[in-house]
Amino acid sequence: MAETKREIERKYDAPEEDFHLPDLHKVPGVAEVVDKGVVELDAVYYDTADRRLAAHRITLRRRTGGDDAGWHLKLPVAVGDDARDEVRAPLSDDVPRVLTGLVRSRVRDAELVPVVRLLSSRDVTHLTGADGTLLAEVCVDAVRAERIGGEGSTAWTEIEVELADGGDPAFLAKVDKRLRKAGVEPSASSSKLARALDETGAAPPPAAAAGDPVTAGDHVLARLRAQRDALVELDPAVRRDLPDAVHQMRVATRRLRSAFKTYKKILDPAATEAVGAELAWLGAELGIDRDREVLTERLTGRIDALPRTLLLGPVRGRLRIWAVARRLGSRRHTVAVLDGRRYLALLDALDALLADPPLKPAAGRPAAPLLAKAALKDHARLAARLEHARSLPPGTERDHALHQARKAAKRARYAGETAVPALGGKAGKFAKRVKKVQSLLGEHQDSVVAREALRDLAIQAHAAGETAFAWGLLYGQEQAAAADAQRELPAVWDRAAKPGLPAG
């Protein structure tokens, strides 16, 4: 069983080995400085032989000593350099399976082995407020690092200031000001592990710096690399069931597939077709969980907006039973997909494709005209699908045609996004206008899916002897929402009908 803690901390280099903290009573908001004594910590850090985790600021350790002995996996988060999510698992001899899953997209089939051992003598101080609430923990760590399986050791003293759970990050700035007045400087290393690897000669090789894209091929490959990286980075977030993670991972698969289709004159489709098909498979598998999430949120919102006098029967309970049953199945399915060999093979195939991209001669041409031409072609496809959909009478066939137009809008939008670095604001405006079309068509499609679910819920309610009144009412609201979207579509499309891009 794993638990997660958001860790927000700052690290500093002690100016001398026998450093002592300055008087922290002077930090605004601190009422008491409590000496908690010294603890001895013994941590062994694990990584692949080529340091894949360290290269991405991920740390995995087995630590004994202190009040949090066990396995700790630290993952970067987007909220700032001071924050990381620490996933903890109980002490065991081997790396817990729950943690190996969270690093699988990075590690793949490589073995996790011990690389560095850190022995720390930690002098702990608590900073508390006037009401006794813990504000932060300040530690002075005397560290000795030993490289495992090779020669090399190093030692240093550092200060670590960790914000208390639920604390205000601004408090760290107040402590920072006091420490700097005492001659303490922020650490040059992001973590103890990073410093240990650097100073024992076990650090991963520096990543090759990517130059600014110049040719059409450069721009397309930059887009593909960014979306490949997004897939890998979102994997642990999906496994942890973080908000919007499944959606963002699915978007990455779509952007990759769209690029393969849009830029056939730049990338050889014979080489990308198989990878594209596997991306379609992954997107569909992720869709099972994502579609459930979106649909449940939509129906819950509809129910919340109804007057209580119209909620006849156990409406919320019926939806909860329906949603939980779908959720349990979809979550298990999603994690099983990420644990499967087929998914890992897809990640490897993407890496191989980007390491040796199948570029066609046009890839070496100037970017702007080629990317503009590709975006215009996708825009023309969208226009044709919209014209076809609007020519059909209301009904299932028209709903399907509008859904196909939505897919074309996404592809055109992604082409505009890819062209922004080369074309600037014109491509950005193009992408935004097309996105509004996509959003409106998405609202229409969501109403179609919601009506199917509401009909299913009404049947279940009727079979259980419950009134189906509320479900019918909600069905009517969804019909009205679809009609509203179709009425708004002409005006939204009029603003997006002119691409505003230079002719390719």
Question: What pLDDT is recorded for position 294?
Answer: 84
Are residues 377 and 273 part of one domain? no
Q: What is the pLDDT of residue 150?
A: 77
Task: For helices 425-463 and 269-305, give the axis angle rounded to 10 degrees.
Answer: 60
Residue owning tokens 């041409």: 365
Together in a domain, 77 and 184: yes
Residues 392 and 311 grouped into a single domain = no
Residue that is written with structure tokens 């990584």 in the block:
47
16-43 confidence digits (pLDDT tens) = 777 889 999 999 999 999 999 999 999 9
For residue range 257-285, what is the model confidence (pLDDT) as tens digits?
999 999 999 999 999 999 999 999 999 99
Q: Are residues 476 and 356 in the same domain?
A: no
Quick check: is 471 in a domain?
yes
Tell me if 189 is assigned to some domain. Answer: yes
Task: Round the CA-based radius of gyration of the chain to a whole number and report it.
Answer: 28
Last residue of a domain, one of 138, 171, 200: 200
pLDDT along the chain (504 residues), means of 10: 86 86 94 96 96 94 93 84 88 95 96 96 96 96 91 92 93 95 90 91 78 92 97 95 90 97 96 97 87 87 93 91 72 90 97 97 96 97 97 94 97 97 96 97 95 94 94 96 95 95 77
d(CA 250, CA 247): 5
Calpha distance 489→495 (Å, rounded): 10
Name 284's Cβ contacts closer than 8 Å, sequence gap at least 6: none
Predicted confidence (pLDDT) per residue in 160-180, tens digit: 999 999 899 999 999 999 999
Q: Is residue 207 part of a domain?
A: no
Q: For strand 83-89 and strand 113-128, is the pairing parallel, antiparallel, or unpaired? A: unpaired
- As beta bridge partners, residue 147 has 116
Q: Are residues 85 and 52 in the same domain?
A: yes
- For the CA atoms of 28, 30, 35, 36, what is the dihedral angle to 10 degrees? -120
Per-residue pLDDT, 504? 57
Please check whether residues 179 and 266 belong to one and the same domain. no
Total structural domains within the chain: 3
Whole-number Å distance between alpha carbons of 112 and 401: 49
For position 358, which CATH number holds? Answer: 1.40.20.10
Angle made by CA atoms 430, 433, 437, in degrees to the nearest 5:
130
Contacting residues for 241 by C-beta, under 8 A, at least 6 apart = 331
DSSP secondary structure of 296-347:
HHHHHHHHHHS-GGG--SSHHHHHHHHHHHHHHHHHHHHHHHHHSHHHHHHH
242 in a structural domain = yes
- Position 106 scores a pLDDT of 96
Q: Classify 373 as helix, strand or coil.
A: helix
Kindly report the CATH number assigned to the domain that includes residue 113: 2.40.320.10
Query: At which of 306, 331, 365 does a domain end?
Result: 365
pLDDT of residue 202: 84
Q: How far apart are CA 174 and CA 30, in angstroms?
A: 10
Domain housing 453: 366-504
Judgement on whether residues 100 and 133 belong to the same structural domain of the protein: yes
pLDDT on residue 244: 87
Using DSSP, state whether 186 is helix, strand or coil.
Answer: strand
Structure confidence at residue 206 (pLDDT): 78
Entry pTM: 0.88
Residues 352 and 388 in one domain: no
